[in-house]
């Protein structure tokens, strides 16, 4: 199996202390592609292409830092409301991205997962999802999860339905239901809850992203639009996380 490629790689001068308290799981709401393009007099799809290139850089940076889990909000259940041409382009991006990046992902030992209702995606997008998961399934390095046609409330509802099915089949009971047991039915399982959630573009909300898993996540918002997101921005978010005191409702 391909192992954890990134841990221990040399960081740029002045950033070597970042590994002292690296978030185990970082989740990112990649926002601002359309505004980035509009401000430059370009079509919105140009912003999505620029955003796709940024995904490559962030995966590399997190791998080199030793981040164990990276979850990226790529397409929400609400994004279908966008213009048809834009949605069609967004559905083609995974095919293009993984065609060019799959070799490096395998070499780095990255395991790629997808969460969300992929059954509603176009055939060519579903085929990309299936093939990418198959090619990286045996990798034991960083787990990169793409939330594609994903909604946090829908995920919780689906988990409850699955649990109810187990009750109906006589495999468990409602009395045995706990937060821990229900979490096993979430699409993110067995990944831990995110330690740090980053949102770009100045918006300060989660927008139906990981609504169950985010209850004790540290939130970090930036005015930077996603295509302008750099390693320096990532390091800034991590340094801010490292200065925080995480009490989980208790005292230290």
- In angstroms, rounded to a whole number, what is the distance separating the alpha carbons of residues 58 and 23? 14
Catalytic residue (one of 31, 63, 193, 195):
31
Asked if 21 is an active-site residue, the reply is: no
- In angstroms, rounded to a whole number, what is the distance separating the alpha carbons of residues 121 and 149? 8
Token pair of 175 as six digits = 């009395």
Q: What angle do CA 4, 9, 12 make, to 5 degrees?
A: 145
Asked if 31 is an active-site residue, the reply is: yes
Catalytic residue (one of 79, 117, 208, 240):
79
Query: Residues 147, 71: contact at Cβ < 8 Å?
Result: yes
Residues with catalytic annotation?
31, 79
């Amino acid at each position: 199996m391909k192992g954890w490629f990134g841990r221990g790689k040399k960081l740029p001068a002045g950033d070597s202390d970042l590994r002292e308290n690296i978030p185990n799981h970082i989740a990112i709401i990649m926002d601002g592609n359309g505004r980035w393009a509009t401000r430059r007099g370009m079509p919105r799809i140009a912003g999505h292409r620029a955003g796709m290139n940024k995904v490559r850089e962030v995966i590399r940076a997190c791998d080199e830092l030793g981040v164990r889990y990276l979850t990226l909000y790529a397409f929400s259940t609400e994004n279908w409301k966008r213009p048809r041409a834009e949605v069609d382009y967004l559905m083609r991006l995974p095919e293009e991205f993984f065609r060019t990046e799959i070799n490096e992902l395998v070499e780095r030992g990255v395991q790629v997962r997808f969460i969300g209702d992929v059954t509603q995606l176009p055939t060519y997008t579903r085929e990309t999802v299936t093939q990418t998961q198959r090619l990286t399934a045996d990798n034991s390095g960083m787990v990169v999860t793409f939330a594609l046609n994903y909604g946090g409330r829908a995920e919780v509802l689906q988990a409850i339905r699955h649990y109810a099915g187990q009750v109906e089949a006589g495999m468990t009971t409602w009395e045995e239901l706990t937060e821990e047991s229900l979490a096993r039915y979430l699409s993110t399982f067995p990944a831990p809850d995110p330690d740090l959630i980053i949102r770009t573009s100045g918006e300060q909300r989660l927008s139906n992203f990981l609504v169950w898993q985010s209850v004790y996540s540290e939130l970090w918002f930036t005015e930077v639009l996603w295509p302008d997101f750099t390693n320096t921005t990532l390091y800034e978010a991590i340094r801010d996380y490292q200065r925080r005191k995480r009490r989980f409702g208790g005292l230290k």
